[in-house]
């Protein structure tokens, strides 16, 4: 299957592709949020925070690799890159929200407020966006370490992941060796 640019599609096909991409992102985020709000995280012990953190990091990495592979085979790699970014960031944010939620439910003194799914997601997003309002802060050293890990990984997601995803899309659209009909630079005189 040959890669196409979004701009090369006729308006109706472009609209369908954009709607399909938007629906995929919204569907993935809905599933992730359903997991956050519906699955029980009360039984997870606070001693296993490091294990949960490792599982979240491994899951984000696996989703990232899967998404880059999907971009490399996509018919519309530009849209697949946008979709990949939405899904990877969604998994990242919900994963950390689950870690914070389980930490808070096991020890109400972990954060300055007891966290429910909404507060956990809010806290995760405020850390991710570097806003950090300060209304919820970690009180224990394990919580501070997890939040610090998220801050460092935020930089990696924002810098490295975004660049890698869009580079994969660009390389799928314009494979090395030049595009068809590309004659290269004019000869020197």
Give me the residue label for tokens 């012990």: 45
**Residue-wise pLDDT tens digits, 126-142:** 999 988 788 999 999 98
**Residue-wise pLDDT tens digits, 28-85:** 999 999 999 998 876 666 567 778 888 889 999 999 999 989 988 889 988 898 999 9
What pLDDT sits at residue 181? 42
**Residue-wise pLDDT tens digits, 2-38:** 888 888 899 999 999 999 999 999 999 999 999 999 9
pLDDT, average across residues 79-102: 92
Cα-Cα-Cα-Cα dihedral sign, residues 84, 85, 90, 96: positive
Q: Per-residue pLDDT for 183 more than 50? A: no
Residue pair 90/63 in contact (Cβ under 8 Å)? The answer is no
Q: Per-residue pLDDT for 173 more than 80? A: no
pTM: 0.82
Instruction: Give the residue extent of every domain in the chain.
Output: 6-173
Q: Which long-range contacts (CB under 8 A, 24 or more apart) does 157-166 make?
A: 157/60, 157/88, 157/89, 157/92, 161/64, 161/85, 161/88, 162/85, 164/64, 164/68, 165/67, 165/68, 165/71, 165/81, 165/84, 165/85, 165/88, 166/81
The CA-to-CA distance between both ends of the chain, in Å, stands at: 40
> So what's the architecture of 6-173 in CATH?
Orthogonal Bundle (1.10)
What pLDDT sits at residue 175? 54
């Amino acid at each position: 299957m040959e890669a196409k640019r979004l701009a090369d599609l006729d308006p109706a096909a472009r609209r369908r592709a954009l709607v399909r991409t938007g629906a995929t992102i919204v569907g993935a985020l809905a599933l992730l949020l359903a997991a956050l709000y519906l699955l029980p995280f009360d039984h997870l012990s606070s001693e296993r925070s490091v294990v949960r953190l490792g599982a979240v990091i491994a899951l984000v990495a696996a989703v990232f690799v899967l998404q880059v592979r999907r971009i490399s085979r996509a018919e519309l790699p530009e849209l697949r890159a946008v979709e990949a970014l939405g899904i990877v960031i969604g998994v990242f944010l919900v994963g950390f929200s689950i870690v914070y939620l389980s930490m808070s439910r096991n020890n109400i003194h972990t954060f300055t407020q007891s966290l429910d799914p909404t507060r956990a997601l809010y806290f995760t997003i405020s850390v991710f966006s570097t806003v950090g309002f300060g209304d919820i802060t970690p009180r224990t050293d394990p919580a501070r370490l997890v939040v610090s890990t998220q801050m460092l990984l935020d930089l990696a997601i924002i810098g490295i992941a975004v660049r890698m995803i869009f580079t994969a899309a660009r390389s799928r659209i314009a494979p090395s060796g030049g595009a068809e009909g590309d004659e290269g630079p004019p000869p020197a005189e």
